[in-house]
A and B are shown apart, each in its own frame.
Chain A
């Protein structure tokens, strides 16, 4: 399972990258692989305020529906509307083209509750 070094991760298998106070959020390779072919995503509204670990989006696959939680608190400033017509990008390119939303975060302190790449790799091994 691909885990990218410079990202932060959650136990619910979201990834987040932070650039200049803006967090880009997506789901990990493990998540897309476990869900199988993804058929639908419900994106958040732009300007929506989210709390850390609260629901940001929901994703449906041929197997199940799952919620995607926001790794950090903040305000949604952009969503990846490409995914509405091409939810399969979440399967094909979960770390790049399949990003879900950008969140303007208040502070980076909450990252202390997230995992780094090494920790997430260990976590994945524990799930085997």
Chain B
């Protein structure tokens, strides 16, 4: 398929303007003018429509296909939230309005949404306050790690390390490092959860905190979580909850009650806002009492008369972490989703997410190796070790699924499982869809035993079959004109 630049025909335009009947303005001073015009494609409106329609048809998305990508919670994004987020009274607001004198009176509805969203998230997670500013999960992690650093600085604690398990999302150690900490990695037990003896050895007075998901990355609930919280708090470390797996416990247990001090939520996972193309996401961060003074500004507060305004008067705040109030339109969608489902609905979300994952696990057990053979939460992890002895690796099984119209599961993560295949069906899929997926996986295992060579050709149905991943990393070039 040609790029839009390759469809350019010199002089072609998608608009026609009438002759100017007013005098020309004085030209800009030369110092303000580019030496040459930017290179833009010259195309007609129909060219543009066909180009992007063709691209959208090639998109592999939740709207078109089952998407059991583990750790990503690719649930269906209901359309009513799109309608609400597009309402002119929300979509057309200028973000500076509440910062102008008396301007907040013009945006009371929007401020109320931000305020109430914070209250709802506190209720759901058991925390005392939230910032809605961070623009993604990893951005939330960094915000949390910076608040942990601010807490220890204020207490004059000398802290150097953040602990993370070896099954952690790669963003955990990365966020800790950017916030100025060194990471200590704790190995997992054969059960797939943190090794408590190794944690005990690593916990010194220099430990600032620990970053964990619960359920853990292997989709398993950590039964020692309260013990871990006690151990970490004993050295005045803080407990960070990575909300990536919140879908598993929604409405059933609250990280704040488990002893965590700070967490982020991926609204684009748990609260069903679009993931598309890497964003825009949202990673609100919740804190318990210890970290409240350090929350980013601005914060929305309620006046005695019930109206809302922005407050910047938090001298210990870590400051802004994003412009304005975060991805407002994403927050609106998640707010609407929470209100529609309500308390009972949110419980059903996690119930069905966990049930679906356990159904997949039970039916594929015996077909693929199951490294952690225990009731799972919202996702299950298999290994393609048995198939790989025959030359068929997790990546090959993933490519097979593409030809079946199914997005591959996550492969090679978590790192602690060789040939890992991590499957998260989510609560929004029907039994028929999940059964079809299971059948495809059984067929794949069968084919791997009979004809491993066949896998090298998959996928056959895509515009590009197997991109050169090594070249893509080594010689990355996204500029068509280079």
A residues bordering B, Cβ < 8 Å?
A: 34, 36-37, 39-40, 60, 62-66, 87-88, 127
| Residue B22 is within 8 A (CB to CB) of chain A in the complex | no
Give the distance to chain A from B423, nearest Cβ to Cβ, in Å.
17
Task: Write 9 A-B pairs (CB below 8 A) sorted by A numbering.
Answer: A34-B418, A39-B469, A39-B470, A39-B473, A40-B474, A62-B469, A64-B170, A64-B412, A127-B418
Q: How far is the CA of A88 from the CA of B411 in the complex (A)?
A: 22
* Bound-complex Cα distance A64 to B412 (A): 8
CB distance from A50 to the nearest CB of B (A): 14
State how many angstroms separate the Cβ of B162 from the closest Cβ of chain A. Answer: 15
Bound complex: CA A64 to CA B411 (Å): 10
Q: Within the assembled complex, what's the spacing in Å between the Cα atoms of A88 and B473?
A: 12
Query: Known: A34-B418, A64-B413, A64-B415. Contact between A40 and B473, CB under 8 A?
Result: yes
Q: Which residues of B contact A63 (CB under 8 A)?
A: 411-412
What is the bound-complex CA distance between A39 and B474, given in angstroms? 6
Interface size class of B (residues with CB under 8 A): 10 to 19
Chain B residue numbers with a CB within 8 Å of A127 are 418
- In Å, the complex CA distance between A87 and B473 comes to 11
| Interfacial chain A residues near B413, Cβ < 8 Å | 64
Contacts of B418 in A (CB 8 A): 34, 127
Which residue of chain B lies nearest to A60 when distances are taken between CB atoms in the complex?
B473
Complex-state Cα separation, A40 to B475, whole angstroms: 11
B residues 447-482 in Cβ contact with A at 8 Å: 469-470, 473-474
User: Which residue of A is nearest B414, CB measured?
Assistant: A64
10 new A-B contacts, CB < 8 A, other than A40-B473, A40-B474, are A34-B418, A36-B412, A39-B469, A39-B470, A39-B474, A60-B473, A62-B469, A62-B473, A63-B411, A64-B412
Min C-beta distance of B12 to chain A, whole Å = 40
**B residues touching A (Cβ–Cβ < 8 Å)?**
170, 411-413, 415, 418, 469-470, 473-474
Beta-carbon nearest neighbor of B475 in chain A: A39
| 7 cross-chain pairs, A with B, having the tightest CB-CB distances, nearest first | A39-B473, A63-B412, A62-B469, A37-B470, A39-B470, A39-B474, A64-B415
Question: With the chains together, A36 CA to B473 CA distance in Å?
Answer: 13
Q: Which residues of A contact B170 (CB under 8 A)?
A: 64-65
Q: How far in angstroms is the closest Cβ of chain B from A81? A: 16
- Which residues of chain A are within 8 angstroms of B415 by Cβ–Cβ distance? 64, 66
Q: List chain A residues, Cβ under 8 A from B470.
A: 37, 39, 62, 88
Pick the most buried of B170, B411, B473: most chain A CB atoms within 10 A of its CB.
B473
Whole-angstrom CA separation of A63 from B418 in the bound complex: 11
- Shortest CB-to-CB span from B440 to chain A, Å, is 23
- Of all chain A residues, the one with the shortest Cβ separation from B474 is A39
CB distance from A73 to the nearest CB of B (A): 18
CA separation between A88 and B415, bound complex, in Å? 21
The complex places the Cα of A36 from the Cα of B470 at a distance, in Å, of: 10
Q: Which B residues are in CB contact (< 8 Å) with A87?
A: 474
Q: How far is the CB of B385 from chain A (nearest CB, A)?
A: 8
Measured in the bound complex, the distance between the Cα atoms of B418 and A39 in whole Å is 19
In the complex, A37→B404 CA distance in Å?
A: 26
Contacts of A88 in B (CB 8 A): 470
CB-based nearest A residue for B413: A64
**A124 vs B474: C-alpha distance when bound (angstroms):** 31
Question: Which of B170, B413, B474 gathers the greatest number of chain A CB atoms within 10 Å?
Answer: B474
List, in ascending order, chain B residues with CB within 8 A of A60's CB. 473
Inter-chain contacts of B469 with A (CB < 8 A): 37, 39, 62
Write the nearest CB–CB distance from A63 to chain B, whole angstroms.
4
Residues of B within 8 A of A64 (CB): 170, 412-413, 415
Instruction: Tell me, in angstroms, the Cα distance from A62 to B473 when the chains sit together.
Output: 8
User: Which partner residue on chain A sits nearest B389 by CB separation?
Assistant: A128
C-alpha gap A64/B413 in the complex (Å): 8
Nearest B residue to A63 by beta-carbon distance? B412
Residue among B411, B413, B418, B469 with most chain A CB within 10 A: B469
CB distance from A41 to the nearest CB of B (A): 11
Q: How far, in angstroms, from A88 to B475 measured CA to CA in the complex? A: 14
Question: What distance in Å separates the Cβ of A98 from its nearest Cβ neighbour in chain B?
Answer: 15
A88 to B468 Cα, complex, angstroms: 14
For the complex, what is the distance from the CA of A17 to the CA of B473, rounded to whole Å? 31
Q: Give the distance to chain A from B416, nearest Cβ to Cβ, in Å.
A: 11
Max chain B Cβ within 10 angstroms of own Cβ: one of A60, A62, A88: A62
Distance A1 CA – B169 CA, assembled complex (angstroms): 29
